[in-house]
């Protein structure tokens, strides 16, 4: 008597049939719309889509716009400070929790809690906290510190830094969790051997443990860079790109041009530039990962 043929051998089409709808929808609503947006960036679209081909005219207008360069400068400031401070603070918290402190579980929950909030909630909360009329400055005045001033939210030269504060507050706990998982994955025998050789705890972390976290550093950098480039809801909830357009970033620039200024082609061009920036970060990472995993 021949043994029964497994179901997956008798019906090789079944997994493909189940996955086909999601695959088709992904192709249409992700890659199809990416292609459509790319063509709009090469068209004369304004208030409504216009498929008249104008080449790189929208990109020329984009790169000639002062507001776009303000948005790019703000992205540079926000990206560098947000990524640097989040990684630095997250690593410090991870090292402190790695000392097996009391109530470690409660502390992890407290540090991770901001990540459970949406950027809209974070931006709104920090908008109240940093509002000179009812937040931190108002509280300090009530306590008798009349000379205290913290008006960054309404200061065109400082508004982008309030976005950094809110972003770091939300993301530092997430970075801490990544680094803590990396530290807990290192073999304890390495640390014990270093201690037997007389190495101090700070030296062990600086020379052995932190260098061992190189893959975690790279993954964290990738995730935070992606968040920084796509930062839209946090900026809109906290500053709405203001005062004026002093805290604009490319995402808010794209939204303003496409949906409030009737410049669909210009907004599509800025979105394409953002996509290219994200791809410039993600593609080398994927290439290095695939190259590493490729069998010899």
CATH code, domain with 86: 1.10.3720.10
Question: Which pLDDT value is given to residue 295?
Answer: 55
Question: Which pLDDT value is given to residue 277?
Answer: 85
Residue 194: inside a domain: yes
With a cut of 70, say whether residue 6 has pLDDT above it.
no
Chain centroid to CA 231 = 7
Q: Tally DSSP H helices, then E strands, for the chain.
A: 16, 0
Residue 258: inside a domain: yes
With a cut of 80, say whether residue 15 has pLDDT above it.
no
With a cut of 60, say whether residue 9 has pLDDT above it.
no
Q: How many domains does the chain have?
A: 1
With a cut of 70, say whether residue 4 has pLDDT above it.
no
- How far apart CA 59 and CA 68 sit, in angstroms, is 11
Residue 1: inside a domain: no
- Write the pLDDT tens digit of every residue in 156-199: 999 999 999 999 999 999 999 999 989 888 888 887 888 888 87
Residue scoring higher pLDDT (1 or 84): 84
Question: Which pLDDT value is given to residue 146?
Answer: 86
Residue 169: inside a domain: yes
- Write the pLDDT tens digit of every residue in 46-68: 888 888 899 899 999 999 999 99
- Write the pLDDT tens digit of every residue in 101-154: 788 788 888 888 888 888 899 999 999 999 888 888 888 988 988 888 888 998
- How far apart CA 168 and CA 83 sit, in angstroms, is 8
- Write the pLDDT tens digit of every residue in 61-89: 999 999 999 999 999 999 999 999 999 99
Residue 159: inside a domain: yes
Question: Which pLDDT value is given to residue 90?
Answer: 93
Q: Is residue 153 within 8 Å of 225, Cβ to Cβ?
A: no
Residue 40: inside a domain: no
Residue 95: inside a domain: yes
Question: Which pLDDT value is given to residue 1?
Answer: 52
Structure tokens that stand for 281 in this block: 């970060």
- How far apart CA 289 and CA 111 sit, in angstroms, is 30
- Residue range(s) defining the domain that contains residue 225: 64-293
Question: Which pLDDT value is given to residue 162?
Answer: 94
Question: Which pLDDT value is given to residue 172?
Answer: 93
Mean pLDDT of the chain, nearest integer? 86
Residue 44: inside a domain: no
């Amino acid at each position: 008597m021949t043994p029964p043929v497994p179901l997956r051998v008798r019906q090789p089409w079944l997994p493909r049939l189940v996955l086909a709808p999601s695959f088709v929808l992904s192709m249409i609503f992700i890659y199809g719309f990416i292609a459509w947006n790319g063509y709009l960036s090469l068209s004369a679209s304004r208030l409504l889509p216009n498929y008249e081909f104008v080449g790189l005219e929208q990109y020329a207008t984009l790169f000639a716009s002062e507001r776009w360069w303000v948005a790019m400068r703000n992205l540079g400031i926000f990206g560098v400070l947000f990524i640097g401070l989040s990684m630095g603070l997250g690593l410090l918290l991870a090292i402190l929790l790695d000392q097996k402190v009391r109530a470690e579980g409660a502390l992890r929950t407290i540090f991770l809690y901001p990540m459970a909030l949406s950027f809209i909630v974070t931006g709104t909360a920090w908008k109240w906290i940093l509002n000179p009329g009812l937040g931190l400055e108002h509280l300090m005045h009530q306590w008798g510190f009349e000379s205290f001033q913290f008006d960054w939210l309404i200061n065109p030269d400082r508004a982008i830094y309030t976005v950094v504060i809110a972003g770091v507050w939300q993301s530092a706990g997430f970075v801490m969790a990544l680094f803590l998982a990396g530290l807990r994955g290192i073999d304890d025998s390495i640390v014990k051997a270093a201690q037997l050789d007389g190495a101090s705890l700070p030296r062990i972390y600086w020379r052995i443990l932190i260098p061992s976290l190189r893959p975690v550093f790279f993954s964290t950098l990738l995730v935070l860079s992606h968040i920084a480039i796509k930062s839209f809801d946090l900026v809109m909830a906290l500053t709405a790109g203001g005062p004026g357009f002093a805290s604009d970033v490319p995402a808010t620039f794209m939204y303003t041009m496409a949906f409030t200024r009737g410049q669909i082609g210009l907004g599509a061009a800025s979105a394409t530039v953002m996509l290219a920036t994200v791809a410039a970060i993600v593609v080398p990472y994927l290439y290095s990962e695939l190259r590493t995993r490729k069998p010899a």
